[in-house]
Amino acid sequence: MTSRTLVLLKPDAVRRGLIGEIISRIERKAGWTISALEMRSLDQDTLEQHYGEHKGKPFYEPLVEFMASGPVVALVVEGERVIEGLRALAGPTDPIAAAPGSIRGDYGVIVRENLVHASDSEESAERELKIFFPGRF
Ligand code: CMP
């Protein structure tokens, strides 16, 4: 099924010079298209909207601080099975549990600094696209 998803290259990925590497992996997948891309710094309001479901959890405040620590790259990716596909390409939240070959498995060690965000469902994707690309999706 064709769908679309929001991907964020988190501040650690940008700082470490992994933008090109990660985008290349996405572009190599047959049938996936990057339909929007923007580098930007995230303000508190945007982060609160995006991570609202985690508010109150012990990792929430450090997560928001980390996500505001430098620019991110936000992408909209469209294509066949792209939501589950990008979650697989990213690997599980904890990079140590992520298989080699996945983005987190190849480049990550720290749970918070896990390089990428990818929407976890169609509902999340539609909600997140409106936060990051208002009026466009
Ligand atoms: P992601 O799954 O993209 O969205 C929620 C983020 O919160 C997650 O990536 C991590 O960056 C962070 N996170 C989730 N669980 C923890 C945790 N236990 N400790 C620190 N950070 C976490």
The predicted structure's pLDDT at residue 84: 97
Residue 50 Cβ contacting ligand 1 at under 6 Å: no
The predicted structure's pLDDT at residue 23: 98
Residue-range domains of the chain with CATH: 2-37+72-124 (3.30.70.141)
Q: Cβ distance 104 to 90 under 8 Å?
A: yes
Instruction: List all residues 6 or more positions away from 75 whose beta carbon is below 8 Å from its beta carbon.
Output: 6, 7, 8, 9, 23, 26, 34, 36, 37, 38
Rounded to two decimals, the ipTM of the complex is 0.95
Mean pLDDT by 10 residues, the chain (137 residues): 95 98 97 97 98 97 98 98 98 98 98 98 98 96
The predicted structure's pLDDT at residue 99: 98
Active site residue 117: yes
Is 87 annotated in a binding site? The answer is: yes
